[in-house]
Structure formats: structure tokens, C-alpha cells
Structure 1
Amino acid sequence: MKTVFSSTEEQEQEIASLVSRFYESVFPKYFTESEILHFREIGVLKPNQSSVTYLATLRDAFQVMTCLQVLMSILDKQKREDFMESESEELFQHNITLLNECGIFFPFYYDHFSSINHEANNEMQMMDIQVANQYLV
């Protein structure tokens, strides 16, 4: 007999928050809006329907949270020039493998994030502008 602890509601909320951050902050830097909508339709970063193990245990939930955080960290580092690409690529792929083993659908490779979508990047910059007058909002 083996005793395991189930995931907590807080962990599930944190995972939902990380997934939202991917869709709102990370994907727009690399993909167009229509591509992102397609990702939602096909269930990117959602549990596979056939997956019984998704967040079944405390360990799985921590694994998913950690993988998502590592992927975001690598993509954030990619903008700067102080990283080793081969090591980052290996770590990136390892975390994708772990996500898929936990039943989270993430069909990308490191190369998908190698070039920034300039059209999407310009839109993101426009969203970050602080308004000087509340009547312009």
C-alpha cells in the first residue's frame, strides 16, 4: 500500500495563474493573435483528456508549477545575452518532457521561441503605455 497526498486548491490556482501568464505575456511575444487563439482551441497547457495523472498528487502539481516557471525563466533570459543557448535548450526540452509526462499538452520546441514576433511585440508595447489622462481610457 502506498500513501500519496493529493494536490491542493492553491496549487491548482497557481498553475492556472501561470498558464494565464503564458497566454497573456509569453505567447504574444512569439506568436500572432490568431495562433494563440488556435493554441486555446487545441488545448495547449491544458491537461490531456486521456491523462488520469494530471495533478493527482502533490508531487505532480509541484512538477507542473516548477516546469512552467522554468520555461518562463528561460524565455525571459533569452532576451538577454548572458546565457548559454545549448544549456538553456536542453533544460527547456527537459521541462517540456516533464510537462507532457504530467499530462500537460505543450507541443513546442525551443526553436519555436527563437525569434520574437515583431508585430506582436509592437502591440504589447502599446499595451504597456501609461495613460496621462483618464479621459483617454
Structure 2
Amino acid sequence: MKVVFASTPTQEERIDELIQTFYSKIFPFYFSDKEINKFERLKVLTITPDKAQQLSTLKTSYQVIASLQTLVNILEAPEDKHKYKHLFSKNVRILEDLDIFFPFDLDNFKRNEDGSSFNQSNFSMYAEATNQYLV
């Protein structure tokens, strides 16, 4: 007999928040809306009901949270990301082992020579609004 601990609803919510962070804060600065739409169709970072069942243990949910948070921290860091290439690859592998589709390498998240992000000047429907107006 094997005893496993189930993940909590808070952990499941945190996984959803981190995935939304990728779609609203990370992807819009490096990819066009057309590319992000393609990621949605390809189910990048999508947790299907079958995957949710697989991630329902405390151990796997913590692995997903830690991997996603590490990737977000690396991609949001202003300094040179390439010194974290090994850490980035390791966390991508963890997601792949848990059957979460994340087909990116650190080289997919390059900045321009002036330090700006690839898609920084373009408007994106995926990016979070900086302010809100009631209409």
C-alpha cells in the first residue's frame, strides 16, 4: 500500500496563475499575438482534466509550481539570462516529464541589442492592461 497526499485547491489555483503569467506577462513581450494564439491552439502549458488528475498529488503539484515559478523568474530577470540556461532546461524537462507541453528553449526568449524585448513596442491583446476604464 502506498500513501499519497492530494494537492490542495490553492496549489491548483497557483498553477493556473503561473500559466496565466506566461500568457499575459511573458509571451506578449517575446512573441506576436498570432504566435501566442498558435501556442493556445497547440495547448502550450494547458492543463487538461487528464493532466489535472495526474498532477493531483502534493509532490507533482509542487514540482509544477516550482518549475513554472523558476522559469518566470529567469525570464523576468533583467540581467543576462544565459547564465541560467542549465536551470531553465532542467525545469523545462521537469514539465515535459509531467506531460506539460512547453516547447521552448531559453534562446526563444531573446532581447534586442538595445535590451528591449522583441515585442515590447507592439500592442498585444494578451498583455495585461496597465489601467482599467469603466465604460
The answer for the alignment partner of 2:54 in structure 1 is 54
**Per-residue CA distance 1:98-131 (angstroms, 9 max, x = gap):** 01111211011111112331xx311369x53x68
TM-score, normalising length from structure 1? 0.79
Q: Which whole-Å CA distance do the structure 1 matches of 2:99 and 2:48 have between them?
A: 5
**Matched residue type, 2:100:** I
Give the aligned CA root-mean-square deviation in angstroms.
Answer: 2.8
Runs of 4+ aligned residues of structure 1 deviating over 4 Å after TM superposition are 48-53
TM-fit CA distance, 1:51: 5.2
Which structure 2 segments of 5+ residues have no match?
Answer: 112-116
Query: How many residues were matched structurally?
Result: 127
**Per-residue CA distance 1:23-64 (angstroms, 9 max, x = gap):** 000000100011001101110001478758631311100100
The answer for the alignment partner of 1:101 in structure 2 is 97
Which structure 1 segments of 5+ residues have no match?
Answer: none
The answer for the alignment partner of 2:121 in structure 1 is 122
Q: Which whole-Å CA distance do the structure 2 matches of 1:31 and 1:114 have between them?
A: 10
**Matched residue type, 1:109:** D
The answer for the alignment partner of 2:43 in structure 1 is 43
Q: Say whether the 8 Å CA contact 1:64–1:99 is kept in structure 2.
A: yes
Structure in which a larger fraction of residues adopt helix:
1
Which structure has the larger Rg?
1
The answer for the alignment partner of 1:90 in structure 2 is 86
Q: Which whole-Å CA distance do the structure 2 matches of 1:62 and 1:94 have between them?
A: 15
The answer for the alignment partner of 1:73 in structure 2 is 73
The answer for the alignment partner of 1:8 in structure 2 is 8
Identity among equivalent positions (%) equals: 34
